[in-house]
């Protein structure tokens, strides 16, 4: 493995923002604001799992295409990461949830209340699998007493947040301002329904895997995408007590198996996410490199591509 292939090396073409400054020297908070051309861009808000991890927040991603901002998942700490990036919660127009494991939506209450406190009464659209409508409804009822108290100290009459929930099946989910979003089924045992998402513009295709074991349907949707952001879980470093380890190969993708997925999908750039606290970036990269020679970045929170 030569210097150009180092798995943890960050090139200007690959990821612009990391560790507080990007490679061109811009402050991190300017990364989202700074004009980045017409191409759609994606930022990693959180690259971790349910484990508390100061280095990696829970799963979450932000995408910008023209004047429209999207988010995919909102795990623990994602709202704070968003603000670190220079993006405010009320600037997200559409939120997509990959599946109903709590580490992928645990920050949704923070998201909703932050938008409301900032005075945003516009309808907000949330998309996800069957069950997301019930989850959002229950969350709003949980937040209602707090928001009603906050209404008493407002000088302008406010209403409860206007959340429009869209339960999806595989296929086109949204088309707006030249951006097409497609939901596709992935394999995340024991859930009956879990999605990856494909974002397409005229000049760029970005795929987010969500949580999945190796999946032909994902390979088909990600084939020759410009960017594939894919989970990467080292099974042997999963230390949760009492977990049935026999389920793991049916729910997640190891670095060894990710290499084979990427080799078949042939993305322009592979970016790893959803990594365990004990996983070392260099080790992950070396494992993937055994069977995959394409462009690779081991993802870190706040990278932008």
* pLDDT for res 31: 55
* pLDDT for res 13: 34
Cα gap 199→207, rounded to integer Å? 6
Structure tokens at 265: 């999908």
Q: What pLDDT digit, counting tens, does each position of 242-270 carry?
A: 777 778 889 999 999 999 999 999 999 99
Cα gap 207→267, rounded to integer Å? 9
Cα gap 146→169, rounded to integer Å? 33
Residues serving a catalytic function are 103
* pLDDT for res 92: 97
Domains located in the chain, CATH noted: 11-26+38-298 (3.60.15.10)
* pLDDT for res 36: 53
Q: Within the chain, which residues score under 50 in pLDDT?
A: 1-29, 35
pTM of the model: 0.89
* pLDDT for res 37: 57
Contact between residue 47 and residue 301 where contact means Cβ atoms under 8 Å apart? yes
* pLDDT for res 244: 78
* pLDDT for res 9: 30
């Amino acid at each position: 493995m030569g210097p150009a292939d180092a798995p943890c090396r960050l090139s200007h073409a690959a990821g612009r923002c990391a560790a507080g400054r990007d490679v061109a020297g811009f402050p991190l908070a300017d990364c989202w604001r700074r004009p980045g051309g017409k191409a759609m861009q994606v930022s990693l808000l959180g690259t971790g799992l349910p484990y508390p991890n100061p280095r990696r927040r829970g799963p979450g991603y932000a995408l910008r295409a023209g004047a429209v901002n999207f988010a995919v998942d909102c795990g623990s700490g994602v709202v704070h990461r968003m603000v670190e990036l220079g993006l405010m919660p009320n600037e997200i127009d559409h939120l997509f949830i990959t599946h109903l494991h709590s580490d992928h939506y645990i920050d949704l209450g923070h998201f909703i209340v932050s938008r409301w406190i900032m005075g945003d009464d516009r309808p907000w659209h949330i998309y996800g699998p069957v069950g997301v409508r019930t989850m959002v409804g229950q969350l709003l009822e949980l937040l209602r007493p707090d928001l009603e108290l906050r209404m008493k100290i407002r000088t302008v009459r406010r209403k409860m947040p206007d959340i429009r929930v869209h339960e999806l099946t595989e296929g086109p989910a949204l088309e707006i301002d030249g951006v097409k979003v497609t939901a596709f089924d992935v394999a995340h045992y024991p859930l009956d329904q879990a999605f990856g998402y494909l974002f397409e513009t005229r000049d760029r295709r970005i795929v987010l895997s969500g949580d999945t074991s190796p999946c032909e349907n994902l390979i088909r949707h990600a084939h020759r995408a410009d960017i594939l952001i894919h989970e990467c879980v080292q099974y042997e470093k999963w230390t949760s007590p009492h977990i049935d380890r026999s389920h793991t190969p049916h729910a997640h993708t190891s670095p060894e198996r990710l290499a084979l997925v990427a080799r078949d999908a042939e993305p322009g750039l592979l970016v790893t996410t959803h990594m365990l606290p004990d996983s070392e970036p260099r080790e992950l990269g070396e494992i993937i490199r055994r069977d995959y020679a394409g462009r690779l970045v081991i993802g870190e929170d706040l990278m932008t591509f």
